[in-house]
A = this chain, B = another copy of it.
Amino acid sequence: MDGEASTSAPANATEQPDANDQVITPWDVKGGADGRIDYDKLRRDFGCAEVDDELVRRIERLTGVPAHPFLKRKVFYAHRDLSPLLDAYEKGEPFYLYTGRGPSSENLHLGHLIPFQFTAWLQRAFRVPLVIQITDDEKALWRSLKLEEARRLARENIKDIIACGFDPEMTFIFSDIDHMGAGGSEGSAFYCNCLRIMSMVNCNHVRSIFGLTASDNIGKIMFPAIQAAPAFSDSFPHMFGAKKGIRCLVPCAIDQDPYFRMTRDVAQRMGHKKVSLLESRFFPALQGENGKMSASDPTSAIFVTDTAAQIKNKINRYAFSGGGETVEEHRAIGANLDVDVPWKYLNFFMEDDMRLREIGREYGAGRMLTGEVKKELIGVLQKMVAAQQARRAKVDDAEVARFTTVRPMPDLFAGARARAAELAAMSSVLFYSHQPPTNGIPWF
């Protein structure tokens, strides 16, 4: 499909590492010698395909809506098997979306929002159902986090996730701990699929993919099966019945790729198609790409709970600048956009392509100062975070229940089928007439 020889080949994480090599695993992100991540190398090492302009245009054509900034700017820059999924969608065979979160902290930061904002867009654009897995079990296995605390964080995080704007009619959000046995006297479809996957994966396999060792606890060893299960539609009989083979697309950060390599390895034996993936770059810490966003260090990131004043203060004080040391130097040589955090953040969250391009040109040439760019960014983030907070304030327990209740969800693909019918009725000329111009902004 992507032409990968074997998806279980030793990944970046387990090759004999040079101390200066970048190391990217689901639990650790470490840049190369210069502290930076070579995203193209990472994509090639993982064996993923590149999201190119043609693919972005195709998604716009199929959905009939302009690409999300994360897509046209290649924040989501790598994929697996997206083309066969789009081929099928175009022919009227819908898919569902699956993403998730490990609830390790009370409050989400901006980096956490990225897959959810993008998934919400994908759901609206493709008109497809979505499952969101909250891996509270994983956090208990990996961190010294009590299960009660993991479940509490799961419930809090679910509210922030709902505030990202998903369709309650087509979205099912579940905590692993709550959902593991759902199904009761008819047997848990979810646990059964976890077991089936576990029976198909041996320790060597998990160790080669994830770099786990015999000193790791047995929960960590089995957990990849639990993250794999939602990629198989019959894990959710209340949504998809017992039907196998419904395609699944996972939008996620690229560090999650190992989980889905393993998931793809077992797909055929599970009677399912291989899951497709759309994988993002990482959102940098305020201190830059070699910093680390952490809930325990409030200066490292903007959190969804930050006030307008906190956002302003954090950006002004901590956001690493690629500008010159002095105004004179800056005017002379311009800003180094490759390392400038305000510029990177704007590329994620500024919607206006024209203004973004202008800032890049002016700032890179030294005609705009860091302070001016930060001011633009502060405005963008204050607006976005305030909107997120306003939506979050409206998420009460009833709203959580709307998303998390195991309930019959018929006709989940009606919207996608309708879109396929629209597509079939359109001429190819018409498709392209709605096309926004290709965005030519240099990216990272």
Contact = CB atoms under 8 A, between A and B. Distances in A.
Interface in A176-217: 177-185, 187-188, 190-192, 195-196, 198-207, 213-217
Contact of A177 (B188, B200, B206, B207): B188
Given A214-B202, A214-B207, A192 B219 contact: no
B178 A187 contact: yes
Given A147-B192, A151-B187, A191-B177, A214 B219 contact: no
A254 to B, nearest CB: 24
Nearest to A184: B178
Contacts of A206: 218
A177, A196, A225 interface centre (most CB from chain B within 10 Å): A177
A222 to B, nearest CB: 4
B225 A187 contact: no
A431 to B, nearest CB: 45
A188 B181 CA distance: 8
A181 B181 CA distance: 3
A141 interface: yes
Contacts of A180: 180-181, 188, 191
Interface residues of A, number: 43
A147 to B, nearest CB: 5
Given A141-B199, A203-B214, A203-B217, 20 more contacts: A137-B191, A140-B196, A140-B199, A141-B195, A147-B192, A175-B187, A177-B191, A178-B187, A181-B188, A181-B190, A181-B191, A202-B215, A203-B215, A203-B216, A204-B215, A206-B218, A218-B222, A219-B222, A219-B225, A222-B222
Interface of A: 137, 140-141, 147, 151, 175, 177-185, 187-188, 190-192, 195-196, 198-207, 213-219, 221-222, 224-225
17 contacts: A140-B195, A140-B196, A141-B198, A141-B199, A147-B192, A175-B187, A177-B187, A177-B192, A180-B181, A181-B182, A181-B190, A198-B218, A198-B219, A199-B219, A202-B214, A203-B218, A203-B221
